[in-house]
């Protein structure tokens, strides 16, 4: 079966290990094992848990301890409404694989993580794109969504907080989307991998899995929890959907690693401390980015409301890929070109990594922009 190449992944694989200033990374600066154990206060006890662990396949659908910890992120979901996956990438792939058949009408926002439109396209679905436009603050136009849904959509795929724009739909907007889906019985898949680090309020916006009977939320340890190395994610949603996902999951997952499952449970049980760190990093770094954008005449942006990324618009007459490659080659700074996420004219920055790298990377980008001027 043919599928389009995953633009962002190909770009990242080509450059992320050789660049000097990585402003393309989308995780909040990752934690070491030592930092995780320290935050959780389990340095003294962890070996007693690990050493007797017999490395079987473990609990197939995820341990009860982990699924309870994940369920506690939702107001209405219980252990049985959760299945554990290989990252959110595994969670999203499983949901699409479970729900989408050839000819099904699938609506996906764009820009977003490419899985949400390229996977259903590869299954022969009738994929309709709901463009998120800068003039709407990169939020969806719900009249347009109604038209695209018609009376026959099977699935609406959204992403909140959004990668790459950092836009954030509030509860009222999510409820409106649920109501539009409900008119034709469509599922709503909301990729919530960046949940928990809103710039304002508690950091948490409501989850689609709590707002709609056919609402499905995917999440993971990678971004707001700074633990991408665990490769651990989940699907939360209606029980019958979780059971249908399990049928597919048996063919490509079996279970996740027992050590990953344990570390993820420990992290979620101590999430307040982890998320406090993540929010401090994202808030302080966004202030750095904001100040830089304000004094850089060639750059403008819609200030992100959550997540770890933003789209920068650049007033330079270069395709985004050329812009990024020239910046990388001359200054060692890595952004992600808009072209690899179907957003030509922009570059994406991931601003939640090491503050010193962010500051130096931005300073070098200013030099690059100054040198481009005739
Ligand atoms: C919106 C979105 N969803 C899912 C993923 C996959 O995340 P992971 O598999 O690391 O949980 C990413 C990673 O960049 C993402 O940005």
CA distance 206 to 132: 20
pLDDT at position 374 is 62
Q: Which region, left, alpha or beta, applies to residue 36 given φ > 0 means left and ψ of -120 to 50 means alpha?
A: alpha
Pocket residues: Cβ below 6 A from ligand 1: 26, 87-89, 92, 113, 159, 163, 191, 193, 220, 222, 228, 233
92 CA: nearest ligand 1 atom: 4
Average pLDDT over residues 157-174: 98
Average pLDDT over residues 26-40: 98
pLDDT at position 173 is 98
What are 225-261's pLDDT values in tens digits? 999 999 999 999 999 999 999 999 999 999 999 999 9
User: How many Å lie between the centroid of ligand 1 and the Cα of residue 123?
Assistant: 21
pLDDT at position 260 is 98
113 CA: nearest ligand 1 atom: 1
Supply the mean pLDDT for the chain: 97
pLDDT at position 72 is 98
**Mutate-to-test residue for ligand 1 from 92, 163, 350, highest number of ligand atoms within 8 A of CB:** 163
User: How many Å lie between the centroid of ligand 1 and the Cα of residue 88?
Assistant: 5
**Mutate-to-test residue for ligand 1 from 84, 220, 340, highest number of ligand atoms within 8 A of CB:** 220
Average pLDDT over residues 209-216: 98
Q: Is the pLDDT of residue 140 over 80?
A: yes
pLDDT at position 364 is 98
Q: Is the pLDDT of residue 141 over 80?
A: yes
What are 283-325's pLDDT values in tens digits? 999 999 999 999 999 999 999 999 999 999 999 999 999 999 9
pLDDT at position 373 is 74
The three state secondary structure string of the chain is CCCCCCHHHHHHHHHCCCCCEECCCCCCCCCCHHHHHHHHCCCCCHHHHHCCCCCCCCCCCCCHHHHHHHHCCCCCCCHHHEEEECHHHHHHHHHHHHHCCCCCEEEEEECCCCHHHHHHHHCCCEEEEEECCHHHCCCCCHHHHHHHHCCCEEEEEEECCCCCCCCCCCHHHHHHHHHHHHCCCCEEEEECCCCCCCCCCCCCCCCHHHHCCCEEEEEECCCCCCCHHHCCEEEECCHHHHHHHHHHHHHHCCCCCHHHHHHHHHHHHCHHHHHHHHHHHHHHHHHHHHHHHHHCCCEEECCCCCCCEEEEEECCCCCHHHHHHHHHHHHCEECEEHHHHCCCCEEEEECCCCHHHHHHHHHHHHHHHHHHCC
User: How many Å lie between the centroid of ligand 1 and the Cα of residue 89?
Assistant: 6
What are 42-83's pLDDT values in tens digits? 999 999 999 999 999 999 999 999 999 999 999 999 999 999
Q: Is the pLDDT of residue 105 over 70?
A: yes
């Amino acid at each position: 079966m043919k599928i389009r190449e995953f633009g962002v992944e190909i770009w990242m694989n080509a450059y992320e290990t050789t660049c000097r200033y990585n402003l393309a990374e989308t995780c909040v600066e990752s934690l070491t094992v030592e930092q995780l154990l320290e935050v959780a206060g389990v340095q003294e006890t962890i070996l007693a848990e690990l050493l007797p662990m017999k490395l079987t396949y473990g609990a197939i659908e995820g341990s009860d301890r982990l699924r309870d910890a994940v369920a506690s992120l939702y107001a209405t979901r219980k252990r049985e409404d959760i299945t554990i996956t290989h990252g959110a990438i595994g969670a999203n792939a499983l949901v699409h694989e479970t729900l989408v058949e050839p000819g099904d009408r699938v609506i996906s926002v764009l820009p977003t993580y490419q899985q949400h439109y390229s996977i259903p396209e590869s299954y022969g679905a009738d994929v309709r794109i709901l463009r998120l436009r800068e003039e709407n603050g990169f939020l969806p136009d719900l009249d347009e969504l109604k038209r695209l849904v018609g009376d026959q959509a099977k699935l609406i795929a959204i992403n909140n907080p959004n990668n790459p724009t950092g836009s954030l739909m509030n509860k009222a907007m999510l409820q409106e989307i649920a109501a539009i889906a409900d008119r034709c019985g469509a599922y709503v898949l909301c990729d919530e991998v960046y949940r928990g680090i809103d710039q304002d309020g508690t950091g948490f916006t409501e989850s689609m899995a709590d707002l709609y009977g056919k609402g499905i939320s995917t999440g993971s340890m990678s971004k707001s929890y700074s633990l991408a190395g665990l490769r651990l994610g989940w699907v939360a949603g209606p029980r019958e959907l979780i059971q249908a996902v399990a049928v597919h999951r048996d063919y490509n997952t079996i279970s996740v690693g027992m050590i990953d499952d344990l570390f993820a449970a420990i992290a979620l049980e101590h999430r307040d401390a982890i998320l406090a760190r993540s929010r401090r990093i994202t808030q302080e770094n966004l202030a750095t980015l904001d100040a830089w954008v304000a004094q850089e005449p060639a750059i403008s942006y819609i200030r992100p409301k959550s997540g770890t990324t933003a789209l920068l618009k650049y007033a330079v007459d270069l395709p985004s890929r050329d812009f990024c490659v020239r910046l990388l080659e001359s200054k060692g700074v890595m952004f992600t070109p808009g072209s690899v996420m179907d957003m030509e004219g922009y570059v994406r920055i991931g601003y939640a990594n090491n503050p010193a790298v962010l500051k130096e990377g931005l300073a070098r980008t200013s030099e690059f922009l100054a040198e481009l001027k005739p």
